[in-house]
Amino acid sequence: DTGVSQDPRHKITKRGQNVTFRCDPISEHNRLYWYRQTLGQGPEFLTYFQNEAQLEKSRLLSDRFSAERPKGSFSTLEIQRTEQGDSAMYLCASNPTGGRGNTIYFGEGSWLTVV
Amino acid sequence: RKEVEQDPGPFNVPEGATVAFNCTYSNSASQSFFWYRQDCRKEPKLLMSVYSSGNEDGRFTAQLNRASQYISLLIRDSKLSDSATYLCVVNSGGTASKLTFGTGTRLQVTL
């Protein structure tokens, strides 16, 4: 399978704990995006990378959230001191620079439940 | 006002029916437009891009009206397998694909 891969697919954590999600984009896609989707809403943009550079962050990305893409390949999204409001599906997506129509390709998502 | 607005539905239609979804967007500088399909608890998948001239892919037709900032999706001869949430998506992000999604319109096709 050469699609966008995310791990773990499901995570249940206690409030206050830290969690980390990993995303492996489609090979040779130099742009990588993180989105968050809560129940009944569409995905919301969090941040994106071009290669290893984080070029934009949404205001939704509070200081408890940090994303990295150290070698320009896989990326991690860490949430510190989780809150119940962080419960959501975290979606990773990728595309190549100048991709056709700027289409992005999503992974299957990582579901987070904070209890 | 949300940047992309859709009627959340649900739209309940019988198999074989024609159904239309509408969407409006607020940013007149938006450059690219899409419809994504999302099945329950799955990731969104691109259904089709939307062009000013209108475009068709089998039973699906998409239209864009830049003057009215309005996007539509028409599904003809609905199948049970069309049951899903349809997300209207706009790219206002310049060179990067910073997509803004509507809340989605849920479609349920019944026998």
Cβ-Cβ contacts under 8 Å, B23 against chain A: none
Instruction: Quick: pLDDT tens for B76-102.
Output: 999 999 999 999 999 876 666 788 999
Nearest to B101 among A31, A43, A105 (CB): A43
Interchain CB distance below 8 Å, A101 and B34:
yes
Rounded Cα–Cα distance for residues B52 and A37 (Å): 29
Return the structure tokens found at A25: 């984009």
* A21 pLDDT more than 80: yes
Sign of CA dihedral A49, A25, A45, A21: negative
Task: For residues B25 and B106, give the distance between their C-alpha atoms in angstroms, rounded to a whole number.
Answer: 19
pLDDT computed for residue B31 by the predictor: 85
Q: Where are the beta strands (DSSP E) in chain B?
A: 4-6, 11-14, 19-25, 32-38, 45-50, 55-57, 60-65, 70-75, 84-91, 99-101, 105-110
The reported pLDDT for the residue numbered A9 is 97
Closest-CA residue of A relative to B32 is A101
Cβ(A55)–Cβ(A67) under 8 Å? no
The confidence band for B29, taking pLDDT boundaries of 50, 70 and 90, is: confident
CA B88 from centre of chain: 4
Task: Give the mean pLDDT of B36-50.
Answer: 94
Tens of pLDDT, residue by residue over A52-68, are: 999 989 988 889 999 99
Average pLDDT, chain A: 92
**Closest residue in chain B to residue A104, using alpha carbons only:** B97
Number of A/B CB contacts below 8 angstroms equals 62
Min CA distance, A81 vs chain B (Å)? 25
Task: Give the residue-averaged pLDDT of A7-14.
Answer: 98
Residue B85, pLDDT score: 97
Q: How many CA atoms lie within 13 A of B10 on its CB side?
A: 11
- pLDDT exceeds cutoff 90 at B54: no
Please check whether residue B17 touches A, CB under 8 A: no
